[in-house]
């Protein structure tokens, strides 16, 4: 949806007032009540499990039971109607735990698990978990990806195209450049950059090397990008994350202009992201950016792109 104020109204209220008016107008307007919002980057864990959890660490604010029902209970800027869970553990059987969590909860439309390409039993483990249609891929670190690329050891990564699965990659601002290398080698694989490459978001112009990497990755049509964890990227060094879309816009512009309307995906990184801002605030920032591009683009960003890229599973009772 798009909400429009006249130039006279905008000048009268100023930018701060405009943001407040936009908030109230979007909150009051129900014309997008049918908007399907799939959060494609959430983490769930339960430290009360007999085997415990490797992350988050005990004694930290995140060390508590976090389940899909807790995401549903949050205040949302736009109601979240489903989620793709991303791994938060390097333990093999925690993939099974996530699939078990999803079994009876139609709100969960996909799992991005964790396995280690290049390990002896990778193909066997991938076959096991991919037998469940909710298992939509895995996430690896850019460090592991770089090792595999440097050794030309890509046989395991080729299995993702064969099994119609996606590959998430997480790492620092150099990650997009590595994805460009991978995409050139594996043009049939669906590759997803996490958190726009975890670049630090400041009031300075976006770093040139990161911009170059984003553009290089985006040249490959099999690479997509999750616009997620923005507030956390702005809250480094103990700083308070900005609530203003304008602060983030130069960075979102780089990503959106490079990947286009069809290869950007909504994600939150909740609950890790709550260390920087509440869910509704983080959601508002990226949603308002999408709203400016119209309803069709907003729907793509919120669910349709992810449906094509992750092939998340529609489930009865989800909404």
pTM over 0.85: yes
Nearest to 73, CA basis, from 285, 278, 230:
278
Task: Answer whether 74's CB lies under 8 Å from 279's CB.
Answer: yes
Give residue 21's pLDDT: 39
Is residue 28 very low, low, confident or very high in pLDDT (cuts 50, 70, 90)? very low
The residue whose two tokens read 């430290």 is: 47
Give residue 22's pLDDT: 44
Share of the chain above pLDDT 70, in %: 90
Give residue 25's pLDDT: 40
Is residue 300 very low, low, confident or very high in pLDDT (cuts 50, 70, 90)? very high
Q: Is the pLDDT of residue 26 over 90?
A: no
Give residue 236's pLDDT: 80
Rounded Cα distance, 286 and 233, in Å: 14
Q: Is the pLDDT of residue 20 over 60?
A: no
Residue-wise pLDDT tens digits, 38-69: 999 999 999 999 999 999 999 999 999 999 99
What are the φ/ψ torsions at residue 295 (nearest 5 degrees)? Answer: -65, -45
213 or 12, which is more confident: 213
Structural domains in the chain?
Answer: 1-31 (no CATH), 35-309 (3.20.20.140)
Residue-wise pLDDT tens digits, 159-210: 999 999 999 999 999 999 999 999 999 999 999 999 999 999 999 999 999 9
Q: Is the pLDDT of residue 2 over 90?
A: no
What are the φ/ψ torsions at residue 76 (nearest 5 degrees)? Answer: -115, 150
Q: Three-class SS string for 249-281?
A: HHHHHHHHHHHCCCCEEECCCECHHHHCCCHHH
Quickly count: other Cβ atoms within 10 Å of residue 272's Cβ. 19
Residue-wise pLDDT tens digits, 196-207: 999 999 999 999
Rounded Cα distance, 194 and 42, in Å: 12
Which H helix or E strand runs over 26? Answer: helix 7-28
Residue-wise pLDDT tens digits, 261-270: 999 999 999 9
Give residue 116's pLDDT: 98
Is residue 239 very low, low, confident or very high in pLDDT (cuts 50, 70, 90)? confident
Rounded to the nearest integer, the mean pLDDT of the chain is 92
Rounded Cα distance, 102 and 157, in Å: 25
């Amino acid at each position: 949806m798009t909400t429009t104020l006249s130039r006279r109204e905008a000048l009268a209220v100023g930018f701060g007032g405009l943001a407040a008016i936009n908030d109230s107008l979007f909150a009051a307007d129900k014309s997008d009540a049918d908007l399907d919002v799939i959060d494609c980057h959430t983490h769930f864990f339960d430290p009360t499990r007999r085997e415990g959890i490797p992350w988050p660490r005990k004694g930290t604010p995140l060390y508590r039971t976090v389940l899909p029902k807790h995401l549903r209970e949050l205040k949302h800027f736009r109601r979240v109607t489903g989620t793709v869970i991303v791994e938060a553990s390097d333990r093999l059987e925690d993939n099974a735990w996530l699939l078990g969590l999803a079994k009876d909860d139609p709100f969960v439309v996909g799992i991005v698990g964790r396995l280690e390409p290049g390990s002896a039993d990778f193909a066997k483990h991938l076959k096991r978990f991919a037998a469940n249609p909710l298992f939509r891929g895995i996430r690896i670190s850019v460090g592991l990806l770089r090792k595999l690329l440097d050794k030309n050891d890509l046989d395991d990564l080729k299995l993702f195209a064969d099994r119609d699965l996606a590959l998430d990659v997480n790492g620092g601002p150099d990650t997009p450049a590595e994805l460009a290398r991978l995409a050139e080698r594996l043009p049939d694989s669906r590759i997803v950059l996490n958190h726009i490459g975890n670049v630090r978001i400041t009031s300075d112009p976006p770093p040139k090397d990161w911009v170059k990497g984003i553009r290089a990755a985006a040249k490959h049509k099999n690479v997509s990008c999750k616009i997620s964890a923005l507030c956390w990227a702005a809250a480094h060094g103990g700083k308070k994350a900005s609530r203003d879309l304008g602060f983030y816009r130069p960075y979102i512009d780089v990503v959106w202009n490079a990947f286009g309307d069809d290869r950007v995906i909504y994600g939150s990184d909740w609950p890790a992201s709550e260390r920087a801002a509440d869910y509704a605030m983080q959601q508002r920032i990226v949603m308002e950016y999408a709203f400016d591009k119209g309803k069709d683009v907003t729907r793509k960003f919120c669910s349709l792109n992810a449906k094509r890229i992750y092939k998340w599973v529609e489930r009865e009772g989800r909404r």
